[in-house]
Amino acid sequence: MPGIGVLLNPKSRHNLRDPGAADRFSRHVGDSGIVRAARSIDELYRIADEFRRIDIDVLAIGGGDGTAHVTLGGFLDVYGDKALPQIALLRAGTMNTVASSVGVRRDSPDGLLKRLVSDYRCELRRRVRSGPAALPGVERNLMRVTADAGKPFYGFLFGAGVIHGFLAEYYRTDPPTPLAAATTLARGVSSALTGGELIRRMTTPLHGSVELEGDERWPERDYLAVAAGTIAHIGLGFQPFHRHAASPAAFHALGIYASVSRFVRELPRIYRGLPMRSGRAYEAVTSRMIVRSAAGPLRFMIDGDLHETGSELVVSAGPVVRMVLPGPPHTGRGVTPDRSSLALMTSDS
């Protein structure tokens, strides 16, 4: 029986505080699957190869957004043309924005895994009677971000400019917590109103241009942020990507050129999932976006992880993944980012 393959990032902040997670998860899964821990990228690839050979039905990721985007990239490399298994996000990191945005209920990793195992066993019994069917879930496109002609990154959220600046400032807090995230935002808004140093540090503009499919171009200028998403939320309940599901194999792209003070006044609308008012931003639903920096390196974020490249990168629509929702889905709007679990080769301290 293929079953559930659970992959843990033992270096995530959550799992460092819970060294018994792997043994406990193994007991939860029982004979319905296997549990593996990836302490390095090489181990991730070996586990992906094992899971591909035994043809698991569900890949349960025991980490947060950062672990998920690294894991999905590694599995896509190993699986090649073979479709990925269904994905279950166990909220075992300190940033779980993706899980919240797609409707994964607020529960502990143990609680979610127990619900997943129960749902899976019920599904196996149902299959005997009426044939194969997927577990309850949602489908979302990944975005493929290619920079410096290297291996692509995969994720659901991309952002440069103030998005990178906010996270860089937030990650300076120790420990990074939901309260620290809200406090960082409040400090930034206060600094914007007084013209303080913090807001200047957080909002270094991206001076560059954007090229979209169909010969659409956003001009070279200062952008407060260039961002894209295949989910609605970006954290702290804000929903800038209200058109994320407007077209298949595409994403919602934004080029925000409003001044800092005007952008701050747009935050209530963004929180409610409404478009910004005219004269604040360009937007498009597209399957391809080339971002070019005309002044220095291009610093960007993917699912909470921070990166830097040269002067150009390409964001394109990636493969569709199906994400399982164990138990009744979460329908609340609160989405609070903590710190990403970052890459599997590092701790998330």
In tens, the pLDDT along 154-194 reads 999 999 999 998 888 877 776 666 677 777 777 777 777 67
Q: Residue 37: CB partners within 8 Å, gap ≥ 6?
A: 7, 8, 9, 10, 22, 43
Q: Considering 85, 110, 136, which residue would you say is the last residue of a domain?
A: 136
Terminal-to-terminal C-alpha distance of the chain: 38
Amino acid present at 38: A
Q: Considering 109, 136, 163, which residue would you say is the last residue of a domain?
A: 136
pTM for the model stands at 0.87
Query: What is the number of structural domains in the chain?
Result: 2
118 and 240 both lie in a single domain:
no
Q: What pLDDT does 131 receive?
A: 57
- Evaluate if residue 134 carries a pLDDT over 60: yes
Split at pLDDT 50, 70, 90, the class of 9 is confident
Give the pLDDT mean for 45-71.
94
- Containing domain of residue 275, as a range? 142-321
131 and 212 both lie in a single domain:
no
The average confidence (pLDDT) of the chain is: 86
Beta-strand (E) ranges in the chain?
Answer: 4-8, 33-37, 58-62, 86-89, 137-147, 153-155, 157-161, 206-212, 217-223, 225-229, 251-256, 281-286, 288-293, 298-302, 305-309, 312-324
- Evaluate if residue 15 carries a pLDDT over 80: no
Give the pLDDT mean for 310-322.
95
Q: What pLDDT does 349 receive?
A: 28
Split at pLDDT 50, 70, 90, the class of 99 is very high
Integer Cα distance of 294 and 312 in angstroms: 9
